[in-house]
Amino acid sequence: MATIQYISKSLNACNQTPHTHHCWELTYVYKGNMSVTFDGGKVDCCACQAVLTPPGLNHCNIVSNDVVLIRAFLDNSEWQIDKPIPIYDFCDGDLGKILQLTCKWFPATGNEGFDDSVLDSYCNIITHILNTFIYNQHCSRPVLEITFDIISNFTDPDYSIDASFENHSLSKDYLRRLFIKEQGFSPIQFLTQIRINHAKKLLKSKTLHGYKINDIAYLCGFDDQLYFSRVFHKIVGKSPREYAVELGQSE
């Protein structure tokens, strides 16, 4: 997990001359535009986008006059990238919200009456969001947007992947082929696997002990229990009831 060494929200708080850092630099743009230039390339970002720059890289941050930023320095020995990468805030501004909350809690840590575990929790979330982009650098922006849209809506039985395709100017067939090429499976296969993985978690949950199979199905985005059971058996190799009994969560 990354640890935050410094974070703040500010206006024009970026170096506009070449510089390096010992830590990872995450710069999130709330308003305006920013470019990170480095030897061999440039990354541009606008509002609700960010750039993660690796330590030791000589780079220059160039911002517009009206820019509003959150800038953070993080330690993480697990990340293995050698150039700045763009971070897109697709999920209703989740990254921006977490960074804003982190800005509020960061000065309080270490002070009497404040629990450092709150900041640790925010750092953990930030790490997982950034990992999504670091480990999916091979994916184009349309594929990442569709991926996040599926993740955001998989519990809705009325959700249709076509709704995710409609947000793009590219054709449905092209987007589907692009998704398969970059992710290794189709969008519907991705949606189905997420739903079944979620069902397995719910069937394992002692808190939900006593829930009927049709309740679990609906919570995972299936409005037909029989169809849910068929899909679950095909992927898991046993029915939802057999799976729950095996785990001791059902009679």
Q: Domain range for residue 61?
A: 3-137
151 in the same domain as 112: no
- pLDDT, residue 251, reads 44
Which of 137, 162, 177 is the C-terminal boundary of a domain? 137
- pLDDT, residue 13, reads 60
84 in the same domain as 161: no
149 in the same domain as 127: no
59 in the same domain as 24: yes
Which of 87, 111, 137 is the C-terminal boundary of a domain? 137
- pLDDT, residue 137, reads 86
- pLDDT, residue 69, reads 93
Residue 20 belongs to domain with CATH number: 2.60.120.280
Which of 137, 166, 183 is the C-terminal boundary of a domain? 137
| pLDDT average per 10 residues of sequence, the chain (251 residues) | 87 76 94 92 93 95 90 93 90 88 84 78 92 89 92 93 91 96 95 96 81 92 95 95 77 44
- pLDDT, residue 113, reads 66
106 in the same domain as 68: yes
State the Cα–Cα distance between residues 28 and 164, nearest whole angstrom. 25
113 in the same domain as 49: yes
121 in the same domain as 49: yes
Residue 232 belongs to domain with CATH number: 1.10.10.60
Alpha carbon 239 to its chain's center: 31
Look at the chain and report how many structural domains it folds into. 2
7 in the same domain as 131: yes
- pLDDT, residue 24, reads 96
94 in the same domain as 182: no
- pLDDT, residue 249, reads 54
150 in the same domain as 38: no
187 in the same domain as 108: no
123 in the same domain as 28: yes
